[in-house]
Amino acid sequence: MKFGTLAIHAGQSPDPTTGAIMTPVYQTSTFVQESPGRTKGNYDYARSANPTRTALEENLAALEGGRFGICFSSGCAAMAAMLHTLASGDHVVVCDDVYGGTFRLFDKIFAQLGIAYSIVDMCNMAQTKAAFTPKTKLVWIETPTNPMLKIIDIRAVVAIAKQHGALTLVDNTFATPYLQSPLELGADVACHSSTKYIGGHSDVIGGVLVVNDPALAEKLHYIQNAVGGVPGPWDCFLLLRSTKTLHVRVREHCKNAMTVAVYLENHPRIEKVYYPGLPSHPQHKLAAAQMRGFGGMISVVIKGGLPAATQFLERVKLFSLGESLGGVESLIEHPAIMTHATIPAEHREKLGIVDGLVRLSVGIEDVDDLVGDLDRALG
């Protein structure tokens, strides 16, 4: 079955007791057993498993083209669960332009538990190769990157990781499973903050890991239950409602973002536009080959630095000034002050996160109104 059909049907069948077409919110903490140890459908306690969550896990696994989905209460909880598969002394190679909270997990939480990491520019294969040590167990890719929207060649990095016997995780949050399939490209784990495009309506926090290897899935399920960062059934229900329209929404995000990117690239007050769909993007060809669309995220540098950027961000009306991304409504933010404040200033500068940099999450409003809003704010 193809994506749109899986989005609506995978993991979900009418409720066996009533025929309800929508998977119910199983708002329960425990399940009554018929006799000690004899459960109905392996449900005994809702941290271990809950039918609403099972439906979501099967749905997301299908969308990622994987066998096992393991859901968490946030993207950060999902990422932490993956890092809990490592042991003290292990080493991770991490791409240099990751989500701020991802960097914080490595730098502040897992470093003190003895998990070492190296940050590299994964657009540079020589630098990537050189970062491996005999202790490297995991490679952490985010592509497109945040907020510079660099594109990393998943196949090429997976090939290097395999030579070293390391697993590869791809944070697929920006691309969405509709536009990019990391597991098909050889990665071992696809990871999402489902708070973003998967949720799509800015009303739920969630995360997921999708894998093919049964042994890795078992390990992650064990950690999901043992550490306990599980999503509640209501959040799972909201996400199931969201995935039904993921393909429709993402198509509109891509269309609108392309129009906005072209508009911005031609505006005299804009110094630079980062959007993988523009031929001026340094990895445009790779993006076109690796992805099925270019997504809804754009970063721009405004001429005039912080004062100009601040004025622009105060003037927009339809674009709401806020962190997060991937919702149907357009958002705009200032990475250096907002989402990427946890990254040391000198590291930010090196990446290109300058004071004039503004990130846009282009929503699915009428694109004429979006361009009109930007035009007013820049004018």
Ligand X SMILES: *Cc1c(COP(=O)(O)O)cnc(C)c1O
Contacts with ligand X, residue ranges (CB under 6 A): 74-76, 99, 101-102, 142, 146, 171, 173-174, 193, 195-196, 205, 207
Q: Which residue is nearest to ligand X (CB)?
A: 75
Give me the residues paired with residue 192 across strands.
208
**Angle at Cα 85 formed by Cα 83 and Cα 89, nearest 5°?**
80
Binning the chain into helix, strand and coil, the percentages to the nearest 5 are 40, 15, 45
Region for 186 from its dihedrals, namely left if φ exceeds 0, alpha if ψ lies in -120 to 50, beta otherwise: left
Task: Give whole-number Cα distances, 13 to 22, 37, 52, in Å.
Answer: 8, 26, 11
**379 Cβ neighbours under 8 A, 6+ residues apart:** none
* Contact between residue 135 and residue 89 where contact means Cβ atoms under 8 Å apart: yes
CB of 208 to ligand X, least distance (A): 10
For the record, the structure tokens of 262 come out as 């072209």
Of 142 and 153, which has the nearer Cβ to ligand X?
142
Of 207 and 335, which has the nearer Cβ to ligand X?
207
CB of 178 to ligand X, least distance (A): 16
* Contact between residue 45 and residue 30 where contact means Cβ atoms under 8 Å apart: yes
CB of 272 to ligand X, least distance (A): 22
For the record, the structure tokens of 118 come out as 């190296």
Query: Strand, helix or coil at 337?
Result: coil
Give me the residues paired with residue 273 across strands.
300
CB of 207 to ligand X, least distance (A): 5
CA 167/CA 178 separation, integer angstroms: 23
CA 26/CA 283 separation, integer angstroms: 45
Of 299 and 308, which has the nearer Cβ to ligand X?
299
Of 180 and 195, which has the nearer Cβ to ligand X?
195
CB of 37 to ligand X, least distance (A): 36
User: b/e per residue, 135-156, with b = 16+ CB within 10 A?
Assistant: ebbbbbbbbbbbbbbbbbbbee
- Catalytic positions are 47, 99, 171, 196
CB of 68 to ligand X, least distance (A): 20
CB of 145 to ligand X, least distance (A): 9
Strand-strand pairing, 91-95 and 136-142: parallel
> For the CA atoms of the chain, what is the radius of gyration?
21
For the record, the structure tokens of 22 come out as 């929508």
